[in-house]
Structure 1
Amino acid sequence: MDFSKTDEQQLLLDSIDQFFEQHPEFDERYIRDCEEKQVPLSEFRNAFIDAGLGLLGIPEEYGGVPVDTQTLVMVAEKIGEHGFPSGLGSMLQVDDVLAFGTEAQQKEIMECLLGGSNMGFCLGLSEPQAGSDSNAIASSYVRREDGKVVINGHKTFTTDGDRAKYMLCMTRDFECGLPPQKSMTCWLVPMDSEGITLENLHKVGHRTRSLCEVYLDNVVVDESDMVGNEHEGFMVVMKNFDVERLVIAADSLGMAVCAYNDALLHAAQREQFGKPIGQFQLIQEMLVHMRIKIDNMRNSIYRTAWEKDNGESLRVASPLTKYYCAQAAFEVCDDAMQIIGGLGYTEESRVSRLWRDARMHRIGGGTDQVMIHILGRQLLKSVR
């Protein structure tokens, strides 16, 4: 397989560089200001859409610019190189709703994504007692005599739950007598529904994204709000995880490239003991190992994206890539902070932000330990 960039891909990546050159207001001070206020990067997102770059990956019939996954991960890396979150999470929502949503649901979510928000829906999966263990989900749904559906439950660690228009909510049918994996159903729940209350959680990183507890108390939805088939919600989530893990890996790569570039520049300019610190072998060793990890991350991500574009199973590739890239990116950011030294540990340096943001990627989308469990099980299946 050939991962060299096509002329079209290179022009696209060059246009992202030009975007940042033309918008000097989107610098680290802008991100820091949004973090302090704990508000989304709305101005950046809107300008990105106006430039046509925020439309990538959305089907043409909805007003977007269709591109393959290979191109999307290259774009994520390029945006991350400039120190910004990629916004590639929209790829996850597009993939989900196109695979399982009705025509009306697809139209609604695409309109949300094209309207300046990268959150058509938030994910209502994790619960206080059901993090890594999806089978322990306790949120329930029951049908009323008038044909409506009533949902009760408590979701936690819901990213942008207070900003999304909808929630893709996983529920259980406790009356069907089926095992957990065969009794789950997903619903597209409007977040302004009566019976929904929210509480914000305060995170270490990713401070321009909110994190919420979501309580659903007799929330009423329609049968038409079902996503996919009844009792097949577990398959919706499994496909979701495959794409989410690739998204996390691509964002991790972008963070690592940005941190590496900052550390490399600092090593070339910072003088101690009469010469640039980059001339000391221990610093050189760190830079070399950082570069090796970045190259390995890129190769793994591009290969996984290629496999997705070619319809191959991601059961091994996706968790493998996510596990390696989440760890490697954090290690690169950590080494970058070490090279930059005291300044790297202050909020004056964007490396400190990248460092705390990268740490979350070893938890979200499946912890390191869960990735090993999934991979070990899949590898053993291959020899049975």
Structure 2
Amino acid sequence: MTGSVVAFDPWSPSFVAWPYDAYAELRENSPVWQFPGTGQYLFSRHADVDALLRDRRLGRSYLHLATHEEMGHEPDAPHLEPFWTLIRNGMLDVEPPDHTRLRRLVSKAFTPRTVQRLTPRVQEFASDLVSELLDAGSDGSPVDLISTVAEPLPVAVIAEMLGIPESDRHLLRPWSADICGMYELNPSASAQATAVRASIEFTDYLVSLASERRSSPGDDLISALASVVDAGDQLTDGELVGTCVLLLNAGHEATVNVTGNGWWSLFRNPSELARLRAGEVGVGTAIEELMRWDTPLQMFERWVLEDIEVHGVRIPRGTEIGLLFGSANRDSAVFPDAARLDLGRFPNPHISFGAGIHFCLGAPLARVELGASFETMIRRVPGLALAETPRWKPGFIIRGLESLQVTVR
């Protein structure tokens, strides 16, 4: 169960471009495997990943139970303090009871009605961006689908939802990308420094904006988060900022990559793209399959809070594990003919949004954004075609394309 699987190399461009053969080997031969590169135990089967996401013997953090030293780890490096302060003020990287409290408060502001109210604006944004794509490619020259449509759409939606002034919205994407660099395996010193700088700048910006909204609230999520009260409890400034950053990072990075990876998947599977264009399958069903077939978040990490044993392998307290979403979503034990892209696949119990208490709060909004984007592209750009083979970014965990050059006629 713990034998060497040489093919797993998250720093290799060829592996990042296509990790699925290595995943198949892991699922078959080493469903629990300790990766020498990080010391993490990796889980590749759907049943294990799904169960461990819900297992309360694991957590995104252990600091509610013990110090770093008590868990056998080095304390946080002092120069990373701004990053960790920001991240640990959001609900993703805390555990109950703090997580329960934060999710309850945020859910009171980030409601289904919020998403419903945004839906017409999402469609408007998508329509405008597709118009820009058509204009840019009207002479037959290649256009980058990522920078023209995939990236601007979720940033515009999150900025609109939060109430970020138009003049400041260009700041969000760079801050998000720089902060998310810390989620890769063994980030470089340069990536760490960049993430710290972005954390400081983003925190300062949002603290100032939240202060304005507390004194002069508007019809936006920052105002709602600043004023939400439940049984006398409310978010601190740090928690409000951490929540806004989480909404941007989680709601933006994944949506961009579902769009880019999804269209690249469709170009590689022209018969499925033809089904979608002909209306044989619905856009919503197709999007679920695109999230499964080429998953935007390939791995999600957890800490072992008390000793566990899986498939006869004992994993001690304080160990970090990696849950391979991309592998779980290709598990033939759950998905018949799992290696095949089938846009009409149903049921489709993929775990691209996670599971358990950390299930993505923004999943409904992400589905609205993706639905608007793909539906508008299918309807208005029937001649969309690949112009050149894309290159992947070097990141493995948050996995996406550098660009996707297309022609529109």
TM-score by length of structure 2 reads 0.27
Q: Which has the higher contact order (CA 8 A, sep 6+)?
A: 2
Higher fraction of strand: 1
